[in-house]
A and B are shown apart, each in its own frame.
Chain A
Amino acid sequence: MNSIQTNEENKTSLFRFVVALADDSVILSHRLSEWCSNGPYLEEDIALANIALDYIGRARMFYQYAAEVEGENRSEDDLAYLRTEREFTNLIIHELPIGDFAFTMVRQFFLDVFYHLYLQELVKSKDQTVAAIAQKAIKETRYHLKRSEPWIRQLAEGTTESRDRILLAIDELKEVVGELFDMPSWEIELVEAGIAVDRQSLKPAWDKHVQAFLSASDIDFEDTRLQITGGREGIHSEHLGHLLSDMQYLQKTYPGMKW
């Protein structure tokens, strides 16, 4: 298997691309893990923690590969626990606080629809490692979507309060959804090389899926032109720093500590 590019410029792009996917996964995983012991009831608690573990698995595979691509002797742990806020390039939607259960599930629904489309394309990547990770992740995402859709339906058509909370969550999350479809320059380069996915091309299918699903519960989903972006450049909301101080505490207090 020779999936590592020898071309230096390509190598930097590939590293940025892979490490960003790892960042997306690890940050979302951390947010989901915050539900552990705080779920609405035990069964949902376990289910959410289980999804958090799926994303941890995904993050590890991407970090390991990023470390290999970089070739600077950094480990997956170094990348996850010793980089600073500005070095993290996750998209902002992943880092927002968990909010209430409706917020968590709407975010999950939006992301599950996105990853369902994204991973279907990523499995065709010419980079064999990236394609293999996508192949493993897509099965998990199919299940995640199967889980988040009935929740949205149930809450949207439940009580006035549950519906209000879903509507509020949709309004808040609308503003960070657009970033999922932005293409940084290095990703455009990798699309041309057949390695990355053209995120923009997924937008119509995402819109169609989300609009059709929500309209069945009598919810109009309209795009908003106001979009908060910056994640891929390392410019984050005020929430990421707090998350990292939690997530990275152990490695920063006891450098090199192992289980």
Chain B
Amino acid sequence: MNQEHLAVYEVFVRSNRGLDHKHVGSLHAESPEHALMYARDCYIRRSEGVSIWVVESSNITASTESDVENFVEPMDDKPYRHATHYVLPEKVKNM
């Protein structure tokens, strides 16, 4: 079947109330509504989540490999920006 008319959607699933939606994968679909249904069938059929977001991939603006030099590397030598010296209380599970 001709798949040219199908758009790619990114799927985000929230596994539990209180947690963030996490990217779990992508899929092809005819429309956002179909994408949501396919996401349900492909990604949460074993009860992996309580909520789904789908976003057409073309709507995502992403950093590129060539951005690494000025986007990421300047952070490498600034350890004072890391909160590594704080001890996280055990009760705080999601940080």
Q: Do A and B bind each other?
A: yes
Nearest A residue to B30, CB-CB: A154
B38 proximity list for chain A (CB < 8 A): 43-44, 46-47
- Indicate if A1 sits at the interface (CB-CB under 8 A): no
Chain B CB within 10 A, most for which of A43, A44, A50? A43
The distance in angstroms between the C-alpha atoms of A50 and B41, with both chains bound, is 7
Known contacts A50-B41, A50-B45, A43 near B33 by CB under 8 Å: no
Report the minimum CB–CB distance from B27 to chain A (whole Å): 5
Selected from B31, B42, B45, the residue in CB contact (under 8 A) with A43 is B42
- What string of 1s and 0s marks CB contacts (under 8 Å) between B31-69 and chain A? 101100110111001000000000000000000000000
Report the minimum CB–CB distance from B87 to chain A (whole Å): 45
The distance in angstroms between the C-alpha atoms of A40 and B2, with both chains bound, is 9
The count of chain B contact residues (Cβ–Cβ below 8 Å) is: 16
The distance in angstroms between the C-alpha atoms of A147 and B1, with both chains bound, is 20
Dominant SS among interface residues on chain A:
helix
Cβ-defined contact, B28 with A41, below 8 A: yes
Report the minimum CB–CB distance from A55 to chain B (whole Å): 14
- Indicate if B13 sits at the interface (CB-CB under 8 A): no
- What string of 1s and 0s marks CB contacts (under 8 Å) between A135-147 and chain B? 0000000010011
Selected from A42, A44, A150, the residue in CB contact (under 8 A) with B33 is A150
Nearest A residue to B9, CB-CB: A43
Selected from A40, A146, A154, the residue in CB contact (under 8 A) with B37 is A146
Q: With contacts A41-B6, A42-B27, A43-B38 known, what are 17 further pairs, Cβ within 8 A?
A: A41-B1, A41-B3, A41-B28, A42-B28, A43-B27, A43-B42, A44-B38, A46-B38, A46-B42, A47-B37, A47-B41, A50-B41, A146-B37, A150-B31, A150-B33, A154-B30, A154-B31
- Enumerate 23 A-B pairs (CB-CB under 8 Å) in ascending A order: A40-B1, A41-B1, A41-B3, A41-B6, A41-B28, A42-B28, A43-B27, A43-B38, A43-B41, A43-B42, A44-B38, A46-B42, A47-B38, A47-B41, A47-B42, A50-B45, A143-B40, A146-B37, A147-B37, A150-B31, A150-B33, A154-B30, A154-B31
